[in-house]
Structure 1
């Protein structure tokens, strides 16, 4: 008789908690925002910028709900935490950067700044994942964030939606453009540099 113990096979779907499905909703909205941004690049119809911004807002709602549901049901997992970070990278890192690119921040220096912003977001989430236990209080809950949370990029998306509404996109971007060494920089892109820098800063933000 074979008494050897075989490791239990990991069933991804069975391991999902209710909160994880909301996290996937976050990711799906982020991908939808990317599609809308690409459609705007192709068609020039500004309504797709609004769609992209609305989908990032929907992603934020899913992001808030998944945390509340996990606390309500008192069910969380390492996989859920990883899912949350990956979804946030798409919705609040890559999507805002691509929306900005679609709105006209397409110069070489613009691309460098936008890539820096995404890299800061990825680094911010990685730092949170590895330090969550250290930052936890006696009740096991994280009391504060180090650096601004990546979903704060919704503010940047709102500004881009406002710019689109006022016609300040592409060649009409606020603050115009400057040439540095023959390459283009739109000063408006610097808000992404500031946002990214705040994400990787040591500023303590109380967690509500």
Structure 2
């Protein structure tokens, strides 16, 4: 994933992670608490769930699916909009991390 658009999409994922952590620090007092004083849910996906993407990419590498063989291929090859659709996995996950309406119940 080395096209300029891939770089933009992957950078946006990293920035979403930073925004998620910053918002967590700011809004920790406003999330509803249970009887023990612990938050009832996570607002947005917790950042450590990104390890699921790491596992997926690790599997791809173990199968030799790198460079020209990345799953889902390349979109708009040879144009300014060239990118790997697999990068959209990162974008979707980043959006879920910063979502204010996506709640993940705590165990």
> TM-score, normalised on structure 2?
0.89
Deviation of 1:182 (Å): 2.7
Aligned to 1:193: 91
The answer to whether the Cα contact below 8 Å between 1:147 and 1:205 also exists between their aligned partners in 2 is yes
The yes-or-no answer on 1:206 pairing with 2:102 is no
Deviation of 1:141 (Å): 1.4
**Which segments of 5 or more consecutive residues in structure 1 lack a partner in the other structure?**
1-104
Higher helix fraction (1 or 2): 1
Give 2:24's match in structure 1, choosing from 115, 118, 128: 128
The yes-or-no answer on 1:113 pairing with 2:12 is no
Aligned to 1:171: 68
Give me the whole-angstrom Cα distance separating, in 2, the residues matched to 1:175 and 1:139.
46
Deviation of 1:165 (Å): 1.0
Q: Over aligned residues, Cα RMSD in angstroms?
A: 1.5
In the TM superposition, what whole-angstrom CA distance separates every residue of 1:81-132 from its partner, at most 9, and x where no partner exists? xxxxxxxxxxxxxxxxxxxxxxxx1111111110110111111111111111
Give me the whole-angstrom Cα distance separating, in 2, the residues matched to 1:207 and 1:127.
17
Higher relative contact order (CA 8 A, sep 6+): 2
Give 1:155's match in structure 2, choosing from 46, 52, 75: 52
Matches within 5 A, 1:69-84: none
Give me the whole-angstrom Cα distance separating, in 2, the residues matched to 1:117 and 1:152.
13
Structure 1 consecutive aligned stretches of length 4 or more whose deviation exceeds 6 Å: none
Deviation of 1:140 (Å): 2.4
Q: How many residues align?
A: 104
